[in-house]
């Protein structure tokens, strides 16, 4: 989108001299600031705002950007004309597309097709437009252009663009590029992410999104972008779950927001929940250096607010720097006797700018201090502007972040203005300065994050393919224990098990699996097996197996004469393991989403699980395991032996591969996976696999899906 934002000529198709028309507003917006060529297009010709109007874009010939404000039904023809003229960048402001009705959706599809044909990058339709403050191009509804700054912003809501611009104007917050995404027919959040990432005037990427077009593409783009610049996203609106019924624990627990939470955390996105946080954090990230660690110092002219600030800092995961003896001695020598020279450093209520300067300089030099919260309250003698000036001077040259909180009202108006003008982050409430500092620290970690590829394994795809196709042919959608071969094909160890139908086969299978064994009756009509003697535990040899089999076949029909006995299932009895669950559900935006948790009450009652979008790499798989609250139980809490976490890790990675290789799997779960002591492995005890319903043509792979989307722009 480089050419779009750096357009040297902009046509307004639908330009107008009539107040109240969009084509009037857009012309005004451009004329107010833009220095490039402005080309009004209107079939009536004549002059518009003093410029000669062309009756069609063809009459004028190519421009770098066309902004279209004419009624929707004639837009496809106009976009076609633009294409023929060689125009590559278009913003469609007009509404009347898929947001209104079927007819509109058809028009929108035409825009997609035409854009594809000519390779046109099209923003919108149904949007407020775009801005680039660095060439003064305001190709939007908004009459005022944003202040110049280092934040780029994309938004799926025009109203939020309007509100943010109005607010930012008041607070002197600056932007570089702004895109109102509208219906995202062609250009979507992934294109903007890539553009903002490359834009040299952008330090911080921000977004307000209500949905994501191509989840896997979004993850890829965001991983790259967040290594280079902080990415802050508001994801609003509840997404609906896939409509197919869920039948696994994983499906039940995965909430509508789980996939976004997982994806954002996997790709280094700082998720924020409100616009105040978005503005607070992006101001700090745009203007301040990153701290080297999480140890902050607080300078204050009053005790109470410093205590509150300390509380928040600790609650948010920052630490109070332990000042060196040297620092404390210097402060002691230079500050009044009753000042506090421990962190928080209290320079007292009558502190002058000079005293603040002395304390700030001393603290910034302390190697234990990673960042400073500069706290000022209004006391009778406070020279707020002088004290602000001290912060400004030091913020400009310091390699450590200095975030201010001038915590007052009327008497701080001058100081606030000064700090805003000089681009030093200032927050009314200390809490917000602290939370912003925490985000600076968070981003310093994200920046260093590695994203290795998901590991490859030697797996037997053919076997799995055959099992799945076989099931499809039979019209089966749910596969259970009988499909253990799927796990084996992907190198996932399973507990010894067999389903047999004769006494001889049963004894033979028992000998192969080894003792002790459990035997269960297999009958579609019997759900409470133990009530009819359909479960025999602790079978220790062939004789006991034979006796158990014969007992079941003889006695169960007496109790359940209607039941068809299809055979028995043998399974090795396990002892000493810990139950865990590994599952997967398909998310409508991101595709396969994995889940990990401890079994039993931990999943069912505590819902203590961790999600990640597949495919996952080693680091992500490890974070799934260490991310549950009860992970201590795997590390040997309460005198237990540590469990074989390596084995879990390997199985998560293999399942990640399985569900990525076979997108027709709609839901999948190993429950339980028994995990033994460190070095002793893990065994899948039961599994459940649900195939997608519907025709296979509906079942695009995520990669195909994203290709399909990408090919359109």
Assess 527 for contact with a second copy (CB under 8 A).
no
Closer to a second copy by CB, 97 or 490: give it.
97
605 binds a second copy (CB under 8 A): yes
Sorted by sequence, the CB contacts under 8 Å of residue 16 that are 6+ apart come out as: 22, 23, 24, 27, 42, 48, 69
Spatial CA neighbour of 22 closest among 142, 190, 174:
142
C-alpha–C-alpha distance, residues 75 and 162, integer Å: 25
Cβ atoms within 10 Å of 525's Cβ, excluding its own:
10
x/- binding map, residues 185-224, to a second copy, per CB under 8 A? -----------------------x-x--------------
Nearer to a second copy, 378 or 534 (CB): 378
Which residue from 160, 253, 402, 614 is in contact with a second copy, where contact means CB under 8 A?
160
Which of 303, 386, 496, 557 contacts a second copy by CB under 8 A?
A: 303
CB-based contacts of 594, cutoff 8 Å, min separation 6: 582, 583, 584, 611, 612, 613, 614, 616, 624, 652, 655, 656, 659
Per-residue contact flags (x/-) with a second copy for residues 18 to 47, judged by CB under 8 A = -------x----------------------
Give strand pairing partners of 175: 151
Please select the residue that binds a second copy; options are 450, 638, 695, 711, rule is CB under 8 A: 638
Q: Provide the 3-class DSSP secondary structure of residue 709.
A: helix
| Cβ 609 to a second copy shortest distance, Å | 14
Query: Footprint of a second copy on residues 249-278 (CB under 8 A)?
Result: 273-276
- The nearest distance, CB 147 to a second copy, in angstroms, is 11
Residue 73, CA distances (Å) to 116, 148, 420, 602, 698 in order: 19, 36, 46, 56, 30
Residue showing tokens 């695009």: 700
Q: CB under 8 A: which stretch of 41-49, 50-58, 235-243, 358-366 binds a second copy?
A: 235-243
User: Could you tell me if 141 and 120 are in contact, meaning their C-beta atoms sit under 8 angstroms apart?
Assistant: no
Compare residues 273 and 538 and give the one whose CB is closer to a second copy: 273
How far is Cα 349 from Cα 161, in angstroms, rounded to an integer? 41
Binding residues for a second copy restricted to 396-425, rule: CB under 8 A:
407-413
For residue 237, the SS3 value is coil
237 lines the binding site for a second copy (CB under 8 A) = yes
Q: What is the total count of residues that contact a second copy (CB under 8 A)?
A: 69
Q: Is 312 in the site for a second copy (CB under 8 A)?
A: yes
Contact map string, positions 419 to 458, toward a second copy, x by CB under 8 A: ---------xx-xx--------------------------
Q: Nearest distance from residue 84's CB to a second copy, in Å? A: 33
State the DSSP string of 544-572. Answer: HHHHHHHHHHHHHHHH-TT----EEEEEE
Kindly tell me which residue out of 83, 289, 349, 496 binds a second copy, with binding defined by CB under 8 A.
349
Binding-site member from 445, 537, 601, 619 for a second copy (CB under 8 A): 601
Residue 122, beta-bridge partner list = 90
- Rounded to a whole number of angstroms, the minimum distance from the CB of residue 567 to a second copy is 27
Cβ closer to a second copy: 278 or 464? 278
The closest of 617, 611, 622 to 586, measured between CA atoms, is: 611
Based on C-alpha coordinates, what's the Rg of the chain? 32
Q: Which is nearer to a second copy, 350 or 566 (CB)?
A: 350
308 near a second copy, rule: CB under 8 A? yes
Order of strands across the sheet that contains 174-180? 137-140, 129-132, 174-180, 147-155, 204-209, 231-235, 270-271
Question: Please, what sign has the CA dihedral across residues 273, 278, 284, 289?
Answer: positive
User: Residue from 215, 353, 378, 672 that binds a second copy (CB under 8 A)?
Assistant: 378
Rule CB under 8 A: say whether 71 interacts with a second copy.
no
Stretch that binds a second copy, among 229-237, 239-247, 497-505, 582-590 (CB under 8 A): 229-237
Q: Of 4, 70, 90, 168, which lies in the binding site for a second copy, with binding defined by CB under 8 A?
A: 168
Q: Which among 159-167, 322-330, 495-503, 610-618 is the span making contact with a second copy, rule CB under 8 A? A: 159-167
Rounded-to-integer distance, Cα 23 and Cα 29, Å: 10
Helix (H, G, I), strand (E, B) or coil at 11: strand
The token duo for 499 is: 């389903």
In this structure, the chain runs to a length of 713
| Footprint of a second copy (CB under 8 A) | 25, 100, 141, 143, 155-160, 162-163, 165-171, 208, 210, 234, 236-238, 273-276, 301-305, 307-308, 310-312, 314-315, 338, 349, 377-380, 407-413, 428-429, 431-432, 600-601, 604-606, 629-630, 632-633, 637-638
């Amino acid at each position: 989108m480089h050419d779009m934002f750096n357009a040297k000529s902009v046509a307004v198709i639908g330009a107008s001299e009539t107040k109240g028309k969009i084509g009037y507003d857009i012309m005004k917006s451009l004329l107010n600031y833009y220095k490039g060529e402005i080309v009004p297009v209107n079939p009536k010709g004549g002059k518009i705002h003093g410029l000669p109007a062309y009756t069609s874009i063809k009459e004028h010939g190519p421009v770098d950007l066309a902004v279209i404000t004419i009624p929707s039904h004639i837009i496809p023809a106009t976009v076609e004309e633009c294409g023929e003229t060689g125009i590559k960048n278009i913003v469609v402001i007009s509404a009347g597309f898929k947001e209104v009705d079927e007819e509109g959706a058809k028009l929108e599809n035409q825009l997609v097709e035409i854009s594809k044909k000519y390779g046109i990058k099209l923003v919108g339709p149904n949007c407020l437009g775009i801005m680039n403050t660095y060439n003064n191009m305001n190709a939007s509804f908004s009459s005022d252009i944003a202040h110049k700054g280092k934040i780029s912003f994309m938004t799926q809501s025009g109203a939020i663009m309007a509100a943010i611009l109005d607010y930012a104007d008041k607070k002197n917050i600056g932007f570089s590029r702004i895109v109102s995404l509208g219906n995202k027919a062609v250009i979507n959040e992934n294109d903007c992410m890539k553009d903002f990432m490359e834009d040299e005037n952008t330090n911080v990427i921000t977004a307000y999104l209500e949905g994501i077009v191509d989840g896997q593409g979004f993850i890829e783009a965001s991983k790259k972008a967040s290594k280079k610049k902080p990415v802050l996203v508001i994801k609003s609106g509840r997404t609906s779950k896939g409509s197919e019924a869920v039948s696994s624990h994983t499906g039940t627990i995965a909430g509508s927001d789980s996939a976004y939470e997982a994806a954002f955390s996997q790709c280094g996105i700082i998720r924020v929940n409100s616009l105040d946080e978005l503005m607070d954090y992006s101001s700090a990230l745009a203007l301040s250096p990153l701290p080297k660690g999480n140890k902050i110092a607080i300078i204050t002219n009053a005790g109470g607010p410093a205590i509150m600030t300390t509380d928040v800092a600790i609650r948010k995961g920052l630490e109070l720097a332990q000042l060196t003896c040297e620092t404390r001695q210097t402060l002691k020598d230079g500050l009044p006797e009753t000042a506090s020279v421990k962190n928080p450093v209290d320079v007292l209520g009558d502190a002058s700018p000079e005293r603040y300067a002395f304390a700030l300089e001393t603290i910034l030099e302390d190697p234990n201090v990673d960042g400073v919260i500069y706290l000022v309250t209004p006391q009778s003698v406070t020279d707020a502007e002088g004290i602000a000036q001290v912060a400004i001077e030091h913020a400009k040259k310091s390699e450590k972040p200095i975030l201010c909180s001038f915590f007052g009202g009327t008497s701080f108006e001058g100081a606030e203005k000064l700090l805003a003008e000089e681009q030093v982050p200032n927050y009314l409430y200390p809490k917000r300065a602290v939370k912003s500092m925490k985000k600076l620290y968070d981003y310093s970690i994200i920046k260093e994050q590695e994203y290795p590829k998901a590991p490859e394994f030697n797996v037997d795809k053919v076997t799995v393919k055959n099992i799945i196709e076989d099931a499809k042919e039979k019209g089966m959608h749910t596969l259970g224990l009988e499909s253990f071969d799927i796990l084996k094909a992907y190198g996932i160890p399973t507990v010894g098990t067999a389903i047999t139908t004769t006494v001889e086969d049963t004894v033979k299978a028992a000998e192969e699996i080894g003792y002790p064994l459990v035997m269960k009756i297999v009958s579609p009509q019997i759900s409470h097996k133990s009530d009819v003697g359909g479960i025999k535990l602790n079978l220790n040899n062939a004789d006991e197996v034979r006796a158990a089999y014969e007992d079941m076949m003889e006695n169960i029909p007496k109790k359940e004469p209607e039941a068809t006995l299809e055979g028995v299932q043998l399974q090795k009895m396990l002892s000493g393991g810990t139950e865990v669950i590994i599952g997967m559900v398909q998310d409508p935006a991101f595709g396969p989403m994995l889940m990990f948790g401890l079994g039993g009450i931990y999943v069912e009652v505590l819902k203590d699980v961790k999600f990640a979008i597949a495919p996952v790499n080693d680091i992500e798989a490890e974070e799934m395991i260490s991310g549950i609250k009860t992970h201590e139980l795997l590390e040997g809490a309460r005198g237990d032996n540590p469990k074989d976490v390596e084995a879990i890790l390997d199985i998560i990675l293999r399942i990640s591969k399985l569900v990525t290789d076979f997108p027709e799997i709609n839901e999948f779960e190993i429950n339980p996976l028994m995990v033994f002591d460190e070095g002793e492995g893990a065994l899948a005890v039961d599994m459940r696999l649900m195939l997608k319903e519907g025709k296979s043509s509906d079942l695009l792979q995520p990669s195909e899906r994203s290709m399909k989307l990408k090919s359109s722009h």
